[in-house]
Amino acid sequence: MSLMKNTLDILKSGSFDVAESDYKKCGYHLEVKLTESQVRDFAQAMLDCGFYIDFVSAVHVTPCFQVVYQFAHFDEACRINAKAMANAQGEIPTICDIYHGANWHERETHDFYGVVFTGHADLRTLLLSEEDADLKPLLKHADKLVNVETITRKSGGDAEMKPVKKTKEEQTAAE
Amino acid sequence: MSTMTKFETTDKHRFLLNMGPQHPATHGVLRVILEMDGEYAMGIDPVLGYGHRMQEKMAESRTWPGFYPNTGRMDYVGAMPFNHGYVALIERMAGIEVPERAEYIRVITSEMNRIASHLLGIGAYVLDLGAFTPILYAFDDREDILDALEDITGSRLTYCYYRVGGVLKDIDDTFIKRTRAFIENFRKRIPMYNDLVTGNVIFIKRTEGVGIITADMARRYGATGPTLRGSGIAYDIRKSEPYSVYSHFDFDIPTGKNGDSLDRYYVRICELEQSLRIIEQALDKLPDGPVLAKPKRAKLQEGDCSFSVETARGVLTYYLVGDGSEVPYKLKIRVPSYSNLSLLEEMCTGMLIADLVSAMGSLDLVIPEIDR
């Protein structure tokens, strides 16, 4: 527990918006909300505290991309999930010179979403081929795209999943 | 996959060498562009994506139960933990309780799958270094596991046996007897692997001090699994964030000292025994009862949820974002070999090409898992 408390204190003193979360329900211990300009300072703080990088990814929502960073620690159970909104042009600073493993994760996110990691020296396609560089397969169609509020966990809300009502055809098929 | 290389060499003594995409030592369609100075690799640029299937897009275009079979088709050598992570993720999100007997069966089958995966990893690694015989012994033992698992799951590699809320069907006495016989038999075989490979002078010369990974490097690249534990860090999700019923069992986390290829290989050998211990205890303590909670078709709640498991190669994290419908809004699959391979450039620059084959093989890569 001490590592988690220490990290919480360090992040709070660095004026990051950090809160404890329910590990049993969401699978991480601390949740951090970052602004675009805090991303690099946060990554440096994580490295100084000895965390390793789990992944970097993004979610396509309105108003713009939500970039997700996850870190965990080799010594104690402490998983940290950080979210930052990219700017209106879909740009966010790179952390690949701080965490070298972020290099491929950022290239992949650029492949799938077109998020531009400013300062990244090598945003060539990684998993997609060059002719598909403009495909951006994980961008949502306009009818599926939701606001960032929709995919945010409601605090105090019921955590239970709602059962799906069977359609008439399925009911008759079951009978 | 980018056909453009990042190397712009003007030095007339240097040349580019393509290793792969069809090369025996890459264990699949992986291409590594090497900038060579004689026999030394001075620049390394892995090219991924030859087996890319856009799994994450598939996850977003079908309901959550519909995506489940895909999870067994990424790491086809050690598919059980991939299944495990996905069903456990949905269970965490929905708050579904799993019967204890089902959790025990999950642990038994996952650990058997881990042994099968390590046997293939060890056998193929030694094959890369030029020894043909050990892989035949490894496949012999692995066959026992695959046969036993085929009996209860119906598959030999791409399993789809776990269900949200339990497992598909109960294990029977034949399976238990067979597994116990395997444990007894395999315990006698482990010293043979050590005699055959671990103590071999040529093997040691090819691996000792080759491809050193430091703790700091592992942290910066997110290396996990035996690749990390070879560097002396006892990090294992089964201990640090215990899921399922792993906290019920007594087992150790083997670690290496130097972080070289030999240590990574030897960690895998030691983990065989630890997996046997877990299976043995699980069989002894196996509780009675149902193996599947009442199936529930449900919408995914709004918000995100993450679940990490320890696969044969390291940490696998599923990160799911739900929008209140049955279809995942986003599913990120963080696979261990992806991060493990990303440190290749730092680990191997300036190395002899023969050593590079040794160091890369010791990462025990599965390419379809990296490419997803």
Q: Which domains does chain B have, with CATH numbers?
A: 68-296+354-371 (1.10.645.10)
Per the listing, tokens 């270094």 go with B129
pLDDT at A5: 85
Of B223, B296, B323, the CB nearest to A150: B323
Q: Which amino acid type is present at position A31?
A: E
CA distance A150 to chain B (A): 6
Which pLDDT score, from 0 to 100, does residue B56 have?
Answer: 92
Q: pLDDT value at position A166?
A: 56
> What residues in B contact A54, CB-CB < 8 Å?
222, 308, 315, 317, 334
What gap in Å lies between CA B76 and CA B158, rounded to an integer? 6
Q: Are B278 and B111 in contact (CB under 8 A)?
A: yes
pLDDT at position B7 over 80: no
CA angle B55, B317, A11 (to 5 degrees): 130
Q: What is the pLDDT of residue A43?
A: 92
Given an 8 Å threshold on Cβ–Cβ distance, is A55 in contact with B4? Answer: no
Label residue B174 exposed, middle or buried (CB < 10 Å: 0-12, 13-18, 19+): exposed
Q: State the best of B243, B319, B343 to mutate against chain A, taking most chain A CBs within 10 Å.
A: B319
Return the residue matching tokens 């791409």. B158
Which region among A134-148, B79-93, B251-265 has the lowest average model confidence (pLDDT)?
A134-148
Measured between CB atoms, which of A24, A70, A150 is closest to B319? A70
Mean pLDDT (whole number) for B49-54: 90
Residue A174 reports pLDDT greater than 60: no
B20 phi-psi bin (left φ>0, alpha ψ -120 to 50, beta other): left
Domain ranges in chain A are 2-174
Which pLDDT tens digit goes with each residue over A2-46? 888 888 888 888 888 888 888 888 889 999 999 988 999 999 999
pLDDT band per the 50, 70, 90 thresholds, residue A157? very low
At residue B147, the pLDDT reads 92
Q: CB–CB of B95/A26 below 8 Å?
A: no
Cβ contact, residue pair A99, B222, below 8 Å: yes
Q: Using the beta-carbon criterion (under 8 Å), do B329 and A127 form an inter-chain contact?
A: no
pLDDT band for position A141 (50/70/90)? confident
Residue B20, pLDDT score: 76
- What is the predicted ipTM? 0.89
pLDDT at B262: 93
pLDDT tens, position by position, B206-248: 999 899 999 999 999 999 999 999 999 999 999 998 998 999 9
Interface test with B, best of A103, A124, A161, A165 (most B CBs within 10 A): A161
**H or E element that contains A53:** strand A51-60
pLDDT of residue B107: 94
- B95/A159 touch (CB, cutoff 8 Å), yes or no: yes
Average pLDDT, stretch B155-176? 90
pLDDT in tens, B54-102: 999 999 999 888 899 999 899 888 899 999 999 999 988 888 889 999 9
What CATH class is the domain A2-174? Answer: alpha beta
**Is B304 a residue whose pLDDT tops 80?**
yes
d(C-alpha B344, C-alpha A16), whole Å: 33
Tell me the H-state helices in chain B.
55-60, 64-67, 80-94, 100-128, 133-153, 173-193, 201-207, 215-221, 226-229, 237-240, 261-285, 336-342, 344-348, 353-361, 367-371
Q: Is the pLDDT of residue A54 over 90?
A: yes
Query: Which of the residues B32, B92, B227, B306 would you substitute to probe the A interface, choosing the one with the greatest number of A C-beta atoms within 10 Å?
Result: B306
Q: Does A152 sit within 8 Å of B303, measured CB to CB?
A: yes
As a dihedral over the C-alpha atoms of residue B204, residue B349, residue B351, residue B344, rounded to 10 degrees, the angle is: 30
Q: Please state, as a whole number, how many other Cβ atoms lie within 10 Å of the Cβ of residue A168.
A: 7
**Per-window interface: B 209-248 vs A, CB < 8 A:** 215, 218-224, 228, 233, 235, 240-241
Of A50, A72, A130, the CB nearest to B3: A130
Give the per-residue pLDDT at B265: 93
Q: For residue A165, what pLDDT is reported?
A: 59
Chain A: closest CA distance from residue B222 (Å): 5
Which residue in this structure is represented by tokens 């699994």?
Answer: B225
Q: Which residues pair with B19 in a beta bridge?
A: B32
Q: What does the pLDDT look like over A105-133, one tens digit per residue? A: 999 999 999 999 999 888 889 999 888 88
Confidence band, pLDDT 50/70/90 cuts, at residue B204:
very high
pLDDT above 90 covers a percentage of chain B that reads: 60
